[in-house]
């Protein structure tokens, strides 16, 4: 990576960075575990963040000590998704995380390109319901990718759709796998959450409320 390439684009993860959907994923997975006859805790749920739907299901099933055949696995993932979709179809702007909207507005006003890089196949529903969709110049979600984070595919596709070199991109992520994906893509990154899990990011903030264009430039001015 060229050290002083100016930043031209910001790529955002969705769940846990822009919107508070982790609680809905948790409720739906917990309900599925309950139907299958085992407990699923909030701590267990941490392992599912940033992970694709089928990989999440496999983690959940391993917690329950169950290994069903592929057809059953697909049916279980669909069942969970049905419950999750019930939650997100009722979402509105009030579930945008603190600071996210102001930061997106500032980025757009400052001429920065903005892309979404999410593992979710439900991203469009969420972006439309929260009215966030118009802020994005490119949207790459789980319907467009083959490989899940930590594979860099989702972010590389985002940069490609924006027509920007990866070295000029900054990724905002709340999952360790997402920071790893950004690093593998040759991009800079900012972790949104705890330094304990996001320590490999260029910087960590507790929420986007701490972000501004000025802060962004300051963080990377010497790296
Ligand atoms: C990620 C979430 O953004 O999307 C994961 O952090 C989720 O928890 C994944 O499993 C896939 O989401 P969906 O909506 O396609 O099931
Ligand atoms: Mg996330």
Q: Which numbered ligand comes closest to the C-alpha of 18?
A: 2
Q: Is residue 155 part of a domain?
A: yes
* Partners of residue 114 on adjacent β-strands: 10
List the structure tokens of 49.
Answer: 């963040």
Q: Is the CB of 45 under 6 A from ligand 1?
A: no
Q: Is residue 15 part of a domain?
A: yes
pLDDT averaged over every residue in the chain: 95
For range 160-169, the mean pLDDT: 98
List the structure tokens of 46.
Answer: 């941490």
Terminal CA-CA length for the chain:
10
Q: Tell me: do 28 and 14 sit in the same domain.
A: no
* Partners of residue 11 on adjacent β-strands: 115, 171
pLDDT for 222 beyond 80:
no
Q: Is residue 2 part of a domain?
A: no
- What total number of domains does the chain contain? 2
Angle CA 124–130–134, to nearest 5: 65
* Partners of residue 172 on adjacent β-strands: 12, 190
How does strand 138-140 pair with strand 113-117? parallel
Task: Give the residue numbers spanning the domain of 66.
Answer: 22-88
pLDDT for 170 beyond 60:
yes
Q: What is the pLDDT of residue 1?
A: 46
CA of 62 to the centre of ligand 2 (A): 22
Classified as helix, coil or strand, 18 is coil
For range 53-77, the mean pLDDT: 97
For range 94-110, the mean pLDDT: 97
CATH number at residue 152: 3.40.50.1000
Q: What is the pLDDT of residue 185?
A: 98
pLDDT digits (tens, 9 = 90+) for 112-164: 999 999 999 999 999 999 999 999 999 999 999 999 899 999 999 999 999 99
Under DSSP, the state recorded for 101 is H
Q: Ligand 1, from 23, 25, 193: best to mutate by most atoms within 8 Å of Cβ?
A: 25
Number of H-type helices and E-type strands within the chain: 10, 6
Q: Tell me: do 202 and 180 sit in the same domain.
A: yes
Q: Tell me: do 120 and 211 sit in the same domain.
A: yes
For range 24-31, the mean pLDDT: 97
CA of 217 to the centre of ligand 1 (A): 30
Q: Tell me: do 35 and 47 sit in the same domain.
A: yes
Q: Is residue 3 part of a domain?
A: no
How many whole angstroms separate alpha carbon 204 and alpha carbon 211?
Answer: 10
Q: Tell me: do 197 and 136 sit in the same domain.
A: yes
Per-residue confidence band for 4, with pLDDT thresholds at 50, 70 and 90: low
Q: Is residue 100 part of a domain?
A: yes
pLDDT for 35 beyond 50:
yes
Q: Tell me: do 151 and 205 sit in the same domain.
A: yes
Final residue before a domain boundary, out of 71, 88, 105 = 88
| pTM as predicted | 0.94
pLDDT for 50 beyond 90:
no
Write the burial class of residue 175 (CB in 10 Å: 0-12 exposed, 13-18 middle, 19+ buried): buried
Q: What is the pLDDT of residue 169?
A: 98
Q: Which numbered ligand comes closest to the C-alpha of 49?
A: 1
Classified as helix, coil or strand, 96 is strand
CATH number at residue 66: 1.10.150.240
Q: What is the pLDDT of residue 51?
A: 87
């Amino acid at each position: 990576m060229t050290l002083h390439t100016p930043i031209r684009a910001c790529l955002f993860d969705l769940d846990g960075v822009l919107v508070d959907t982790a609680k809905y994923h948790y409720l739906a997975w917990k309900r599925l575990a309950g139907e299958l006859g085992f407990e699923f805790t909030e701590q267990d749920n941490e392992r599912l963040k940033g992970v694709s739907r089928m990989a999440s299901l496999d983690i959940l099933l391993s917690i329950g000590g169950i290994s069903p055949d592929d057809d059953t696995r697909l049916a279980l993932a669909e069942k969970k998704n049905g419950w999750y979709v019930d939650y997100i179809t009722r979402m509105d702007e009030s579930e945008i995380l603190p600071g996210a909207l102001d930061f997106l507005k500032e980025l757009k006003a400052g001429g920065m390109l903005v892309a979404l890089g999410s593992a979710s196949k439900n991203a469009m529903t969420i972006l439309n319901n929260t009215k966030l969709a118009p802020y994005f110049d490119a949207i790459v979600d789980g319907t467009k990718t083959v490989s899940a984070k930590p594979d860099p595919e989702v972010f590389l596709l985002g940069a490609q759709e924006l027509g920007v070199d990866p070295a000029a991109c900054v990724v905002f992520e709340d999952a360790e796998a997402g920071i790893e994906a950004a690093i593998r893509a040759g991009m800079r990154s900012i972790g949104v959450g705890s330094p304990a899990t996001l320590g490999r990011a260029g910087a960590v903030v507790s929420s986007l409320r701490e972000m501004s264009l000025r802060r962004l430039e300051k963080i990377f001015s010497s790296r």
